[in-house]
Amino acid sequence: SPVLAEDATSVKAPVVLDGRELLEIGPLGKVTAQERAELITSTLKSALAESIQRGTPPQIKVVRSDRDIVLKIDSRPLVEVTEADVLNSMYSEMQVQMWQEKLQQGLNQSWQERTPAYTRWAVKKLIIAFLITLLLQGGLVLLFRYIQRQKLQNPHRRWHSLQLLSLRLLQVGVWATFIKYGIQLFPITRAWFYEAVKLLDTTFNSRMFKLGEESISLSQILAIALTIVALWVGVSWFVSILKSRFLPLTEAERSHQDTIAFFVQYGLLSIGAVLILNAGGVDFQSLAILLGALGVGIGFGLQNIVKDFICGLILIVARPVKVGELVQVGEFQGLVQRIGARTTDISNIERYIITIPNSRFIEGEVLNWNRSGITRVKAYVKVPYGTDIDFVYKVLLASAQVEHPDILRHPPPKVKFREYAEDGLQFRVVAFIRDPLKQPKVRTHLYNQIERYLRKYGVEVPRPQQDLHLTDLDPEIYAWVRSQTPVEHRLQPQETPSIEPPTIKEEYDWEAIATAMRGANGVSIKDRKFQFKKFQNVFFGSDAVEWLMIHERATREEAILMGQLMLEQGIIHHVLDEHNFKDEPLFYRFYNDEIESNLSTNSQMKENSQQETDPDARRIDLDPQNNSDE
């Protein structure tokens, strides 16, 4: 018997043929909409298969009688429409005609797509689309490599990273478009794709569990999660602006500023999370009961795992340790390779991986070589007793001041007399570097230079020896022993070397630094405007800090200190004398540039005044023709 048409207000299910929705049908009585749609679809597929063997597409016909209207496919009943299913006879005629057109159009397309001619045409289309996709991908790859080279040349620009990310997404989008186009070309792949999409839709929108009176689906969970991530990004951006622009104006201590920023950040996150969960329909009373029951189970069996997991969240959020940093946790030392949800991997100098629970990074002491931005490299040297300490100090300091690309100039290398050892006087040479991984390389450089300078200036290194001291020896025996000892082996008093000590470089050569900063490769010095006022020959304090870090090989803290010292010594000053030296876009000027600018201005004013007070000269200048006649 034919399937009856649905009521307009009923829940509907689609009638699908080869992945295309032709029309929607509703339930009737005990027969659900899905069952009716599947029955109609099965009838359409059966008629279509018979028509392929016959060689002509199936036809949808309307058969009218006194009591009802029936849609038939090749004399086979398909859908029956009665007067009880519609509001009036006019609407019944329109509905039947609409269904007939949709079903006939879908059947014609499906029949055409099963012919060999269409298959050949679709394969050609697919090959052309594939070639176009390869061409687009090739162009995107070339553009990606070009931007990647630009990024290597200018690593501080974040715009290149955004461009590379956009290109990657565009490449994925091109391939996804090609795949989607290829799937839509063939009826069997289109039908599979439709079923996969329906399965995903059912999975994401079906009820997973119930909190109170609200049913929670996977799509709601994902929407809440993405909204919370967006909240996290927005709050982090706001807090970064708060810490850099507003909190420094309070002139509070740095620790107090960080505390305020911490509470603002997590306060906004907490309030936003509550609002998001409330908008998502989460019942907080039921959620509290669920979390309480879950906490009891965790407390009995999984407390260590959950502790490591929570510590992992703290490591990811608070970031006390970052990937690529050199750390020491207990007896283990190495580079952080990965921070996971429960464990963290570090790579030892011998290139094996150590997996450490995250709780050890939070509960125990962690030595981080990168966090301070500077690392000390130490070398120890011993010289014999009786050596001139001041002379050795200058020799060792000169050896440490030999230029090396990894050793910082500021803070400068240092030499300290440490202790009286058993076999000599012990000194310590300290140099400062940025990258802690360069310690072995720099330490080797220090020892090489120390050895070279000690040989150059005649300073000996003590050798292992044993001395025999005889007391209360008979004078005759002592004289005989002395006569038997060769002269070269007798103990001679050590003399202070007569060689001139090496020249020690000053920590700050202000004249050379100022000349370099004002030179061709110095900071950007030019006229700038602020609040409609022009300032001549000025530079940014932040630019000066970056220049000192690169050209003077200083840490950021040392670069700021150098700028302050230059200000205190009268080399530079703030244009309005309202600030000390800061790593900010504030205007500073060299006093030499200010003197030259003033001299130029005074000279110009003097020339103008002379022209005004000498009318003859002014007349001659203004009348060059008369001047030539004379």
Break the chain into its structural domains and give their ranges.
Answer: 3-113, 126-205, 210-301, 303-368, 387-489, 510-612
Q: 70, 3 in Cβ contact below 8 A?
A: no
Place of tokens 């900010």: 584
pLDDT at 172: 94
Return the structure tokens found at 419: 């202790």
Return the structure tokens found at 79: 């859908």
End-to-end alpha-carbon separation of the chain, Å?
A: 126
pLDDT at 431: 92
- Which residues, listed in sequence order, are joined to residue 588 by a DSSP beta bridge? 539, 574
The pTM of this model reads: 0.46
- Which residues, listed in sequence order, are joined to residue 378 by a DSSP beta bridge? 430
For residue 568, give the amino acid letter: E
Closest CA to 317 of 348, 276, 358: 358
For residue 578, give the amino acid letter: E
> Which class would CATH give 303-368?
mainly beta
Q: In the chain, which stretches have pLDDT less than 50?
A: 1, 3-9, 84-85, 87, 496, 617-630
> Which class would CATH give 387-489?
alpha beta
Pick among 1.10.10.10, 3.40.50.9100, 3.40.470.10, 3.40.50.620: CATH of 510-612 = 1.10.10.10
**Long-range pairs of 84-93 with CB within 8 A, sequence gap ≥ 24:** 85/4, 85/5, 85/6, 85/7, 86/5, 86/8, 87/8
pLDDT at 142: 94
Pairing of strands 332-339, 343-347: antiparallel
